[in-house]
């Protein structure tokens, strides 16, 4: 299915190229009514009362946490909201068709940081800085300073390939995110008197103890399919702690640097010795299920995965999970890679201002707090929510969640360098990891192969040297 969908998305892109001309004509004709933010009017939540916006959303507990408050948005603004919700893969298939054809069907939609690097250069996204900074369009109590700057920054980019995220235009607003950390079974760690691993070496040691004593169990679950999903969570977090880089400042691939090779060797050793038996088929869901279903003792992935598993009633291991910063080279990896689910405005939308009101509302203090307290908007993007005593209390049943978060949020970022081939690059990269895992190549050979192939492809795009 995944393979098929991947093929499908590739076909989509091909077709997109073929019809760009057609779409271009259409786009030019459509009237840009919403347009630039501005005017001297005072901010008024009711300014776009009577308008209707349509959203495209990904099925996710975070989405649910916002949607259940939708009535308050409608009564606050008088804006009506329609929405379609799809699972992630189908969502991106659909939104690619919609955006590439220049359709104004959806006014706002969900997006992650990596997609921005493709969508923004294609002019599919409305730049948001002017909205954010406009006093007539953004209420004073929105309080940008209350949002973690590194989290907000993951959706900002100056459109230059190879320059890091965090500078330039704001292309989307994050409304929730997860950090990559270690999550483990408290009962097993107590039973065998194990120390929480701080390095990848430690993980192997601890994992071996588990495997020797527990039938049908393995040490740690991490993702391993041929996909970007394998690269960006635990792997890239550990990678960062080895001081390894994906590209140098000229966008030349650096996946085969000595640090990178050492990291991959350690990582694959971990996967081989204490990892899941069918690592190359392990996705986000297998990682979750392995922890919740009692097959793995640890996972190195999004902190929110353990949160789902640990939530009362959601799995056999509910209440039995604890958190710690992810293992690194010589100590914990305090600079985790992260992922945000964000909201963007369609540049072809006819109701941009109303759509901005939705973005503003969804990232507001009230919605973030209510979502985090009553639903599962974890992690919220606002410092004030993290300071809220009720929220702290809510996280008490999640052992060391809060402390771990405090330790790693400062260093958290997108540590991947923006470049147009992100999905190709990470697929090649994960393929190389699989080759090392299967013993087809040494780490050096496999990573040299990635670097060489990537240089070639980037050169075709006129990038790198």
Binding residues for another protein (CB under 8 A): 8, 11-12, 15-16, 19, 22-23, 26, 58-65, 67-68, 83-88, 90, 93-94, 97-98, 100-101, 103, 105, 216, 284-285, 288-289, 292-293, 295, 307-308, 311, 313-316, 375-376
Distances (CA, A) of 270 to 45, 137, 226, 242: 53, 51, 18, 15
How many other CB atoms sit within 10 Å of the CB of residue 144? Answer: 12
CB of 97 to another protein, least distance (A): 6
Dihedral, 43, 47, 49, 51 alpha carbons, nearest 10: -110
Residue 98 or 333: the one with the smaller Cβ distance to another protein is: 98
Determine the angle formed by the axes of helices 258-274 and 200-213, rounding to 10 degrees.
10
| Phi-psi domain of 343 (left: phi exceeds 0; alpha: psi -120 through 50; beta: other) | beta
Residue 247 or 323: the one with the smaller Cβ distance to another protein is: 323
Residue 187 or 460: the one with the smaller Cβ distance to another protein is: 187
CB of 161 to another protein, least distance (A): 26
Closest by CA to 240, choosing from 326, 160, 323, 320, is 326
SS in 3 state form for 118-136? HHCCCCCECCCHHHHHCCC
Residue 218 or 357: the one with the smaller Cβ distance to another protein is: 218
Residue 93 or 150: the one with the smaller Cβ distance to another protein is: 93
| Phi-psi domain of 255 (left: phi exceeds 0; alpha: psi -120 through 50; beta: other) | alpha
Closest by CA to 237, choosing from 111, 114, 329, 113, is 329
Tell me whether residue 263 is exposed, middle or buried, using C-beta atoms within 10 angstroms of its C-beta: 0 to 12, 13 to 18, 19 or more.
buried
CB of 57 to another protein, least distance (A): 8
CB of 94 to another protein, least distance (A): 6
Residue 95 or 463: the one with the smaller Cβ distance to another protein is: 95
What is the enclosing helix (H) or strand (E) of 436? Answer: helix 422-437
Residue 84 or 265: the one with the smaller Cβ distance to another protein is: 84
CB of 285 to another protein, least distance (A): 5
Give CA–CA dist 317/312, Å, rounded.
9
Residue 54 or 329: the one with the smaller Cβ distance to another protein is: 54
CB of 295 to another protein, least distance (A): 6
Residue by residue, DSSP assigns 255-319 as TTSHHHHHHHHHHHHHHHHHS-TTGGG--HHHHHHHHHTTSEEEEEEEHHHHHHHHSTTSSTTTT
CB of 315 to another protein, least distance (A): 7
Residue 45 or 86: the one with the smaller Cβ distance to another protein is: 86
Q: Please answer whether residues 186 and 399 qualify as being in contact, where contact means their C-beta atoms are separated by less than 8 angstroms.
A: yes
Q: Please answer whether residues 195 and 204 qualify as being in contact, where contact means their C-beta atoms are separated by less than 8 angstroms.
A: no
SS in 3 state form for 59-77? CCHHHHHHHCCHHHHHHHH
CB of 277 to another protein, least distance (A): 11
Residue 312 or 439: the one with the smaller Cβ distance to another protein is: 312
Structure tokens at 9: 């998305």
CB of 332 to another protein, least distance (A): 26
CB of 314 to another protein, least distance (A): 4
Give CA–CA dist 343/174, Å, rounded.
6
Residue 225 or 417: the one with the smaller Cβ distance to another protein is: 225
CB of 80 to another protein, least distance (A): 15
Residue 108 C-beta-side C-alpha neighbours within 13 Å:
28
C-alpha angle with apex 186: 185 to 187, nearest 5 degrees?
Answer: 95
């Amino acid at each position: 299915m995944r393979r098929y969908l991947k093929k499908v998305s590739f076909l989509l892109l091909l077709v997109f190229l073929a019809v760009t001309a057609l779409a271009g004509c259409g786009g030019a004709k459509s009237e840009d009514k919403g347009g630039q933010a501005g005017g001297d009017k005072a901010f008024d939540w009711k300014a776009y009362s009577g308008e209707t916006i349509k959203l495209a959303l990904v099925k996710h507990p975070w989405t649910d946490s916002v949607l259940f408050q939708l009535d308050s948005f409608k009564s606050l603004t008088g804006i009506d909201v329609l929405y379609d919700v799809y699972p992630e893969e189908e969502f991106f298939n659909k939104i690619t068709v919609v955006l590439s054809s220049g359709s104004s069907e959806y006014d706002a939609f969900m997006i992650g940081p990596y997609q921005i690097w493709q969508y923004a250069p294609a002019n599919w996204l409305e730049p948001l800085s002017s909205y954010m900074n406009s006093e007539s369009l953004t209420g004073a109590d929105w309080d940008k300073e209350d949002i973690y700057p590194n989290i907000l920054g993951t959706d900002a980019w100056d459109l230059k390939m190879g320059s890091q995220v965090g500078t330039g235009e704001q292309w989307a607003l994050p409304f929730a995110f997860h950090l990559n950390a270690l999550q483990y079974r408290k009962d097993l760690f107590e039973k065998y008197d194990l120390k929480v691993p701080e390095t990848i070496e430690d993980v192997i040691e601890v994992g071996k103890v588990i495997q020797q004593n527990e039938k049908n169990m393995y040490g740690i679950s991490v993702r391993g399919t041929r996909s970007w999903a394998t690269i960006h969570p635990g792997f890239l977090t550990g990678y960062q702690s080895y001081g390894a880089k994906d590209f140098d400042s000229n966008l030349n691939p650096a996946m085969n640097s000595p640090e990178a090779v050492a990291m991959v060797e350690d990582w694959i050793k971990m996967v081989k010795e204490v990892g899941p038996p069918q690592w190359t088929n392990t996705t986000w869901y297998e990682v979750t299920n392995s922890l919740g279903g009692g097959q793995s003792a640890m996972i190195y992935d999004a902190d929110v995965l353990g949160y789902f598993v640990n939530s009362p009633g959601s799995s056999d291991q509910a209440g039995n999970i604890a958190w710690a910063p992810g293992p690194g080279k010589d100590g914990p990896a305090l600079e985790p890679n992260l992922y945000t689910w964000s909201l963007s405005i369609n540049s072809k939308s006819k109701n941009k201002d109303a759509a901005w009101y939705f973005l503003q509302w969804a990232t507001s203090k009230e919605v973030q707090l209510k979502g985090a307290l009553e639903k599962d908007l974890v992690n919220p993007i606002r410092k004030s929510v993290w300071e809220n005593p009720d929220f702290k209390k809510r996280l008490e049943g999640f052992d060391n969640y809060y402390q771990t978060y405090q330790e790693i949020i400062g260093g958290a970022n997108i540590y991947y360098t923006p470049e147009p081939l992100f999905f190709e690059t990470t697929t090649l990269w994960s393929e190389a990891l699989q080759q090392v895992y299967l013993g087809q190549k040494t780490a050096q050979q496999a990573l040299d192969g990635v670097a060489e192939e990537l240089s070639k492809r980037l050169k075709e795009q006129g990038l790198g040297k």
